[in-house]
A and B are shown apart, each in its own frame.
Chain A
Amino acid sequence: MDSVFSKVVRAPEDPILGVTVAYNNDPSPAKINLGVGAYRTEEGKPLVLDVVRRAEQQLVNDPSRIKEYIPIVGIADFNKLSAKLILGADSPAIKENRVTTTQCLSGTGSLRVGAEFLKLHYHQSVIFIPKPTWGNHPKIFNLAGLSVEYYRYYDPATRGLDFQGLLEDLGAAPSGAIVLLHACAHNPTGVDPTPEQWEQIRQLMRSKSLLPFFDSAYQGFASGSLDTDAQSVRTFVADGGECLIAQSYAKNMGLYGERVGALSIVCKSADVASKVESQVKLVVRPMYSSPPIHGASIVATILKSSDMYNDWTIELKGMADRIISMRKQLFEALKTKGTPGDWSHIIKQIGMFTFTGLNKEQVAFMTKEFHVYMTSDGRISMAGLSSKTVPHLVEAIHAAVTQVV
């Protein structure tokens, strides 16, 4: 019997996750994986945070814990604490019950559920996303039925923010359009607006009734301070307007595989927030019924305990500091080597990624000749670097820049 799917063609590898697949298949002992954004220690090992281990042990040792379905919107404690984390404990929006928070499957799931909600209930179905952005963003919004437009963001000439271009493009967006904003540590460029620039963006967006949809995947990971990294979101919420926020605990709590995140929708009133929540449930139920319990339980355990919370902030700062120090080391090493070009963007950019400015051919060269793995847009994950591997990377970059144009 013929398959009804015999006409299906093979899909291309995911450009980001495919890098790790290729890396794993490489037998060379010198290989470095600077592809996917997962934190590595100085020894190149993945890291389960100590505070996470403790929380997990606590859960395992509790015989009263059961594994039943949690509510469609997830664990109540987790939701409350997640909203507090991003909005601040003293946020008027929280005090006034204007925020509805839904536990979702990490950042991806939060974005998708938010987008599906917007498709059903918002009067505009176009979303403006920065150019460039995380490769999965356009796919998420397309599948949710939104149409995707781009606003200028990265300036290859300065390897910084194309602020003029951004203001022009958002200024020309139709009234009410949705705008995706990276809350901090823009992925893939590492280029963030300054606080002054954020304020201008906020004013422009509010004057045109553009709806902000924040993707916050690196809170605490960028500067080392949870509050600093939440500033962009908080200034928007402080003006009393509405917005959506997708939070992920994949990186800042090292809970990658457990898929923990939250979608918060800040509304004008408590009544509206309650109705919105009821509609979000209708999006979730036919997608996966209810979110997974384990990761969110770990997060709630940590956020609830002031000791564990403090310990977490220390470990988080440790990770952020190591990345900042890797940036310095790489920059200094390139300077010392005399590699042509201005590499100051390495220390100006922030967060897990550096947009090196290397082109596709140079990247392919570095992979083939030096077994250095990164995405073809020249993005490297600083988290994958260590003092030991910086020299090898410098060799590879130097060779690529001098031999391949």
Chain B
Amino acid sequence: MAMAMRIRNAASRRAMSPISGDFSLRSMSSWWKNVEPAPKDPILGVTEAFLADPSPDKVNVGVGAYRDDNGKPVVLECVREAERRIAGSSFMEYLPMGGSVKMVEETLKLAYGDNSEFIKDKRIAAVQSLSGTGACRLFADFHKRFRPDSQIYIPVPTWSNHHNIWRDAQVTQKTYHYYHPETKGLNFSGLMDDVKNAPEGSFFLLHACAHNPTGVDPTEEQWREISQLFKAKNHFAFFDMAYQGFASGDPAKDAKSIRIFLEDGHHIGISQSYAKNMGLYGQRVGCLSVLCEDEKQAVTVKSQLQQLARPMYSNPPLHGAQIVSTILGDPELKSLWLKEVKIMADRIIGMRTTLRESLEKLGSPLSWEHVTKQIGMFCYSGLTPEQVDRLTSEYHIYMTRNGRISMAGVTTGNVGYLANAIHEVTKSS
């Protein structure tokens, strides 16, 4: 059980029996002396360790932040231009609790389709959120408040913060089969069994595309079957879409799973993030949407989402939303953005091919087919925690201990070094 959970339980026990004693200022000790140091975040802790490493050979394939072929972070040209236009703006006032209306409108078009009937009919309750994390957390809080009887099913494995989010929202969590270690692909029958056996009306967290950390996505055919089974079981589908455009290079293609569910009549929820596909990581821009029965219900649901946002941060930050609106609201800038997204996606696809070929050329006894079959920012390499530790201690290569490689950190400059190191720690497998 997570440290924080134990501490939460301990604190509530302690609150029931107040401490008594001498409270003179001089002898008073800290209120916090029983606070234990928290474990480092498994993902963000990797970058911290990388930064602290003095080795000139070090490679960071840990956190999912895009790098160009020189290993440098990228600010998209469309973003720089948008910022030039925004600078000097006379507006720095509070956004509404639901965020920038313009930004939300444009964002819904990306997920639901430019000509979506749901947008026309105003059936979508949507609010600007603090990137994907914030959207998931708002939805989890909403889920807890209005459907406390039900639970959320989370795939195994998933982004580690998903568990933290639903736990802190106090929503009961269950898991469903997803990744198949033997094939390094999808455990489709396991997934379908879990969907079938879950109580009717359960909530499921689905990665819309480019599953994090595995890079393993269902095929279109499989998505259709999942959707049909969801219908039969009356399940609620919540999509976390953090990589639209980043997976295949084509945003419409990357939203296919969502479009299938919409065609089949599901009332879904979606978390969207601009962290990766617009490179707006630190701006914390995203959107939470919930498709409702009608406009009236959408207004209602939105009002309740706002009630949850108000005591968390009052209203969302302005700057990132202005960047998104400026880009998506201008056809030229939007088209530049689409080009730049495709360049990022293509570079990653290219690196996948190069990494796989390099390992094969080195004569690796293992199959590295999965490197090119998986999609998106991450490759679930199949490396064990011990092998990962060796990569770090012997080769100064940093990744999360589940063997997840951020392909965005791979460059023509380091792919050879990376392939060699992986080969060295796996060749006796």
Contacts and interface: CB of A to CB of B under 8 A. Distances in A.
Answer yes or no: do A and B interact. yes
Contacts of A240: 25
Contacts of A10: 299-300, 303-304
B118 interface: no
A8 B148 CA distance: 13
Interface stretch (B161-169, B324-332, B378-386): B161-169
A286 B20 CA distance: 34
Interface residues of A, number: 92
A294 B317 contact: yes
Given A60-B83, A60-B87, A120-B7, A285 B14 contact: no
A142 B93 contact: no
Interface string A141-183: 0110000000000000000000000000000001110000000
A356 B3 CA distance: 49
A4 B4 contact: no
Interface string B50-93: 00000000000001010000000111000100011001111111
A57 B29 CA distance: 47
Interface string A265-287: 00111001011101101110111
Contacts of A272: 30, 32-33, 35
A46 interface: yes
Given A6-B293, A112-B313, A287-B134, A258 B168 contact: no
B133 interface: yes
B231 interface: yes
A369 interface: no
Contacts of B165: 286
A123 B15 contact: yes
Nearest to A9: B300
Contact of A209 (B23, B95, B300, B311): B23
B307 interface: yes
B38 interface: yes
A25 B88 CA distance: 27
A3 B267 CA distance: 6
B284 A106 contact: no
Given A68-B281, A242-B31, A106 B314 contact: yes
B7 A121 contact: yes
Interface string B130-151: 1101100100010000110010
Interface string B259-279: 000000111000000010001
B293 A287 contact: no
B311 A258 contact: no
Contact of A68 (B30, B133, B282): B282
B121 interface: no
B413 to A, nearest CB: 19
A30 interface: no
A232 B282 CA distance: 34
Nearest to A286: B164
Interface string B95-137: 1110000000000000000000000000000000011011001
B20 A241 contact: no
Contacts of B301: 5, 8
B311 A108 contact: yes
Contacts of B308: 143
B130 A288 contact: yes
Given A5-B290, A279-B35, A289-B161, A67 B75 contact: yes
Nearest to B319: A294
Nearest to B314: A108
A256 B35 contact: no
A105 B313 contact: yes
B229 to A, nearest CB: 14
Q: Which of B92, B234, B265, B280 has the most CB of A within 10 A?
A: B92
Contact of B307 (A11, A57, A109, A140): A11
A46 B90 contact: yes
B11 interface: yes
Contacts of B130: 105, 287-289, 292
B91 A139 contact: no
B36 interface: yes
A44 interface: no
A374 interface: no
A207 interface: yes
B282 A292 contact: yes
Interface string A2-24: 11111111110110010000000
A66 B304 contact: no
Given A136-B310, A294-B283, A123 B267 contact: no
Contact of A288 (B75, B91, B97, B134): B134
A1 interface: yes
B315 A4 contact: no
A290 to B, nearest CB: 7
Contact of A60 (B84, B94, B275, B303): B84
Contacts of B416: none
B312 interface: yes
Interface in B7-49: 7-8, 11-12, 14-15, 18-20, 23, 25, 28-38, 41, 44
A285 B310 CA distance: 18
Interface stretch (A48-56, A188-196, A319-327, A392-400): A48-56
A86 interface: no
A281 B38 contact: yes
Contacts of A207: 23
B283 A255 contact: no
Contacts of A281: 38, 41
A234 interface: no
B417 interface: no
A20 to B, nearest CB: 9
B161 A14 contact: no
A45 B284 CA distance: 28
B94 A257 contact: yes
A122 B32 CA distance: 7
B34 to A, nearest CB: 8
Interface of B: 3-4, 7-8, 11-12, 14-15, 18-20, 23, 25, 28-38, 41, 44, 63, 65, 73-75, 79, 83-84, 87-97, 130-131, 133-134, 137, 141, 146-147, 150, 161, 164-165, 167-168, 201, 231, 234, 236, 265-267, 275, 279-284, 290, 292-293, 297, 299-301, 303-304, 306-308, 310-320
Given A105-B313, A143-B311, A275-B38, 13 more contacts: A11-B306, A17-B315, A46-B91, A48-B91, A70-B282, A72-B44, A106-B313, A259-B315, A281-B38, A286-B164, A292-B282, A292-B319, A294-B320
Q: Which 5 residue pairs are nearest across A and B when measured between Cβ atoms?
A: A257-B318, A293-B282, A268-B30, A286-B164, A288-B130
Interface of A: 1-11, 13-14, 17, 36, 38, 45-46, 48, 52-53, 56-57, 60, 65-72, 105-106, 108-109, 112, 116, 119-125, 136, 139-140, 142-143, 174-176, 206-209, 211, 239-242, 250, 254-259, 267-269, 272, 274-276, 278-279, 281-283, 285-295
5 contacts: A17-B97, A139-B310, A175-B23, A257-B93, A287-B134
